[in-house]
Amino acid sequence: MDNQYDLIIVGAGPSGLWAAEKAASAKLKVLVLDRKQEIGPPKRCAEGLGLGWFKRLGLKPNKEWAVQPIYGATLIAPSGKSIQMRTKKVAGYVLERKVFEKHLAIAAAKKGAKIIVKANVENCERKNGIVEVTVNEYTEIKKYTAPLIMAADGVDSRVARMLGKNTANKPYDMDSGFQYEMTNLNTKHYEEKDLNMYFGTEISPRGYLWIFPKRKATANVGIGISAMQEKTAKHYLDKFIEANPKIFENASIIEVNAGAIPVGGFLEDLTSDNLLVVGDAGHMTDPIHGGGIGIAMEGGAIAVETAIKAHKAKNYSHEFLQQFTKEWFERRGNQLKKRLKARLLLEKLSDADFNYLAESLTVEDCLKIAGGEMNGKEKIMLFGKKLMQRPGLIAILSKYL
């Protein structure tokens, strides 16, 4: 009996842990399995989370894990010219994700979810309407069963595939991320209150390079580039560090992180019999900046709404579970699809276009963008209008706007 659950969640990242808390709160018997020996590390993340996500998810920033308040963004064009979009109020936080995830785990366990670490899911098999999960737990093979499995196992998800659902992403829709957490940076040469983002085809092809401040003189310094590039993300990051001694001359690396980021290629169906797929495993990330913490958590919570209905109806069929896909696209996925279009536009811009944009945006424009007066569409329109004035770009822009 102890090995039987209502819901088994594979993966104790933000999506799985948030879903576990919601499901356990609704009195589902929940098991969370993670192959890591500790919830949290190693992080594969720059740890930025916008204030909007705190509000949407009902999260209260806690100094233990919301370690650095952020007031805006500084975007740096290939020419070095920067555009600062800053507000007087806190616009988000850089997290200490290792601690954040432990907090999520504690909250889920408090509601009654059972969490097991060092538990690698090796197989999932349907048997008479129930799924049998084979787990290598501290080198011992154990079996657990549930009528419903949530694949929250991240970007290199295998769990959905174990149940016959192919969730693989095309290389074109993947970014390759690489990051150093660095300390003893020279704070005079980057904005300590902003997310610093560097653009340009030489600096970061089809992506951006970031300095996300974490503590005094300490930051996540990383890069996300198209996974189809010949040279590695590490190559571009090291080149940038070498080219900017003013910032990095006396710095030390205190952590190395690497990971893939799905940036498009949404899964049109997030379910099959006995299966819900969430978070990075379900390609739930923002195609423009690759952020996925908030989206993964929201996706996990939406999936739980369907899990609760399935539990009540004792119906775990693909047909029944499909309401999750519908809900997710209505509440988030369709908006992300529009953002994918904007990303495809950004991909077409040359370094000269980025430089032009940085030159042509006025301080007033930046204040409007940062001040919360504009919604996402209005911001894109503003950028679009500026670029429209640039010969050669009109054809590309009219296609996307």
Ligand X SMILES: Cc1cc2nc3c(=O)[nH]c(=O)nc-3n(C[C@H](O)[C@H](O)[C@H](O)COP(=O)(O)OP(=O)(O)OC[C@H]3O[C@@H](n4cnc5c(N)ncnc54)[C@H](O)[C@@H]3O)c2cc1C
Tokens representing 271?
């379910």
**Is 77 or 104 the residue whose CB approaches ligand X more closely?**
104
Backbone phi and psi for residue 338, each to the nearest 5 degrees, phi listed first: -65, -40
Q: How far is the CB of 293 from ligand X (least distance, A)?
A: 3
Return the HEC string of 17-79.
HHHHHHHHHCCCCEEEECCCCCCCCCCCCCCEEEHHHHHHHCCCCCCCCEEEEECEEEEECCC
Which positions ≥6 away from 223 have C-beta within 8 Å?
177, 178, 179, 204, 207, 208, 209, 210, 233, 236, 237, 240
| DSSP alpha helix (H) spans, 213-330 | 233-243, 245-248, 293-313, 318-328
**Is 83 or 162 the residue whose CB approaches ligand X more closely?**
162
**Is 280 or 298 the residue whose CB approaches ligand X more closely?**
280
Residue 109: CB atoms within 10 Å: 17
Q: How far is the CB of 166 from ligand X (least distance, A)?
A: 16
Q: How far is the CB of 303 from ligand X (least distance, A)?
A: 11
Q: How far is the CB of 313 from ligand X (least distance, A)?
A: 27
Q: How far is the CB of 394 from ligand X (least distance, A)?
A: 34
**Is 45 or 85 the residue whose CB approaches ligand X more closely?**
45
Spatial separation of the C-alpha atoms in residues 134 and 144, rounded to whole Å: 7
Residues binding ligand X (CB under 6 A): 10-16, 33-36, 44-49, 120-121, 152-154, 158, 177, 179, 222, 257, 259, 261, 279-281, 285, 290-294, 296
**Is 13 or 72 the residue whose CB approaches ligand X more closely?**
13
Tokens representing 36?
């890591």
Backbone phi and psi for residue 87, each to the nearest 5 degrees, phi listed first: -110, 170
**Is 152 or 361 the residue whose CB approaches ligand X more closely?**
152
Tokens representing 122?
């090796």
Query: End-to-end CA distance of the chain, in Å?
Result: 57
Residue 118: CB atoms within 10 Å: 15
**Is 121 or 361 the residue whose CB approaches ligand X more closely?**
121
